[in-house]
Amino acid sequence: MAVKAAILGATGVVGQRFVQLLDGHPWIKVEVLAGRSSAGKLYSEATKWVLESPMPGWAAGITVEPVDPEAIAERVDVVFSALPRSVAAPIEDALARRGVVVASNAGAMRLDPDVPLLNGEVNWEHVKLVDVQRSNRGYEGAILKNPNCTTAVLTLFLKPLLEEYGMKRVLVTTMQAITGAGLRGLPAAMIMDNVIPYIEGEEGKVKTESLKILGRLVDGRVEPADIAVEATTTRVPVIDGHTEVVYVELERRPGSIEEVGEVLASWRSMPQEAKLPTAPEKPLVVRWEPDRPQPRLDRLEGRGMSVVVGRLDWARNLGDNWIRAVILGHNTVRGAAGAAILAYEVYRALYS
């Protein structure tokens, strides 16, 4: 039987990705599209569609509904939330209290101790925090969060390295796409012919969220990873795809850079083993060409759910155990809607 779903904030960039990615999903059927300012209009009328594929026909004919937790909870099993952080928490809380599972891209509650902050392959076992959450909050449903887009890309790259070699320090500089700022984002006069070397709040999210995601679940709580993470985040005039230059100090020295590449390329996790619909066959794709990855060429690898790794090399001037890579991930797929859908699929695999 199909799982009935609603998408909140359905007309924005991430909301559109939810619509696109759930089109044809084998066991999730979208019943409700909701928005705060577009209620009463057909989705096709309310939405300025900006994605690379056409708007699905079934979505075009749906009338956008108000974001009413009580009314929505009566009709669906799961809600995918693309609401702004400023309004998300009370709405998502009300839905979870009414028995709905909320898989949310909104930043609110990501760091709450009893809220799973899930990046599918990286920390799927953290979904068991749902038991603690239900005990603490009296929920019949649950709230699942996916990380900030930059963090989602970064932690997928770091996880197999952490497992294989251990990890001390991470230095990352990002070049983030404009869709990361939302549909209205930045005025063209600000971003064209420009690089903006600051994104408010972003660097702190990369540090704190990464340590929670890479941490261990012990006795119903997450022990953050003991890794020093330092980030510089920038915005660049690219539509989709976050590029990150990453330096990593490992605890144990790999035998060779080729060995590191094989560790990354061969790594799989529970979503691949369970063949979850949104999980890519290869979470990490390693390229050895000197000029890859590139956003325009590589952002849709694995239907946008894979992270592409290039420029793998030693960073010997920093120390014997340092490596360097340039990584790329799709910010609204792996970094947002796709990660939330995968988080729900992980939940269903363990709780259905």
pLDDT at 39 over 70: yes
pLDDT at site 37:
86
Average pLDDT on 287-315 reads: 98
Q: What is the mean pLDDT of the chain?
A: 97
What would you report as the CA-atom Rg of the chain, rounded to the nearest whole angstrom? Answer: 20
> How distant is the alpha carbon of residue 51 from its chain centre?
18
pLDDT at site 352:
83
pLDDT at 1 over 80: no
Q: Are 326 and 245 in contact, with CB atoms under 8 Å apart?
A: yes
> Where does the pLDDT of residue 14 fall: very low under 50, low under 70, confident under 90, or very high at 90 and above?
very high
pLDDT at site 183:
83
Is 242 a catalytic site residue? yes
- pTM of the predicted structure, to 2 decimals: 0.97
Average pLDDT on 74-96 reads: 97
> Where does the pLDDT of residue 144 fall: very low under 50, low under 70, confident under 90, or very high at 90 and above?
very high
pLDDT tens-digit map of 147-194: 999 999 999 999 999 999 999 999 999 999 999 999 878 898 999 999
pLDDT at site 80:
98
Catalogue all structural domains in the chain, each as residue range(s) with its CATH number: 3-148+337-351 (3.40.50.720), 149-330 (3.30.360.10)
Secondary structure of residue 279 in the 3-state scheme? coil
pLDDT tens-digit map of 314-348: 999 999 999 999 999 999 999 999 999 999 999 99
Q: Are 303 and 332 in contact, with CB atoms under 8 Å apart?
A: no
pLDDT tens-digit map of 88-128: 999 999 999 999 999 999 999 999 999 999 999 999 999 99
Is 330 a catalytic site residue? no
Residue among 232, 158, 238, 162 nearest 197 (CA): 232
pLDDT tens-digit map of 260-280: 999 999 999 999 999 999 999
pLDDT at 234 over 90: yes
Q: How many CB atoms lie within 10 A of CB 275?
A: 10
> What's at 53, amino acid-wise?
S
Secondary structure of residue 5 in the 3-state scheme? strand
